[in-house]
Structure 1
Amino acid sequence: MGLMDNLKGKAEELKDKASEFAGKHSDQIGSAVEKAGGAIDKATKGKYTEKIEHGTSKAKGAVDDFAHKPEDPGTGPDAAPGTGPGSTPPA
């Protein structure tokens, strides 16, 4: 295995860890983004409120898209058919 393969493997591993971290702490990250947006809005005296709100919304959406959230037990790829949310239990 070459150096590039090792680097690619490590990069993928770090991406997975970051995604897992973001999934576990997405509420805290979202709160921090809101707080930062509020501070920026205050510093600019409301001149860019709409742009700041748009940016914070996009940032929180990006975190949600990146975050690996734990799956519901009945929705993973190994789940039995008909056991996920919205399915009816067997009679």
Structure 2
Amino acid sequence: MGFDDIVNQGKKLYGDNKDQVDGFLKSEQAEQVSDQVFDSAADLAKKISPDQFDDNIDDLRDKADGAVGTE
């Protein structure tokens, strides 16, 4: 099985379960998990990048968080 086969299976699985997936992505549980993941990723990025990029990292974190969960 090649990479394209895996991608196509993922697309089919999402298409078959789109309503459930979309519902989960807009749930309170997804909000809590995404906040933890995005906060951790932003903290790591701030540690390894120069301080001048901290505001950019925060902006990206906020945009990503806005796409997942309830806020």
TM range (shorter): 0.5 to 0.7
Q: 1:35 to 1:52 in 2, by over 3 A?
A: same
DSSP-derived class of the 1:25 partner: helix
Q: Deviations over 1:2-50 (max 9, x none)?
A: xxxxx88x6152x322223321322111110111011011110323100
1:17 aligned partner: 20
Query: Tell me, which stretches of 5 or more residues in structure 2 are unaligned?
Result: 1-10
TM-score, normalised to structure 1, is 0.51
Aligned residues: 58
Bigger Rg over Cα: 1
Distance 1:28 1:45 in 2: 27
Q: How does 1:32-71 map to 2 (within 5 A)?
A: 32-64=37-69
More helix by share: 2
Distance 1:64 1:48 in 2: 26
Distance 2:62 2:43 in 1: 12
Q: CA RMSD in A?
A: 2.5
2:6 aligned partner: none
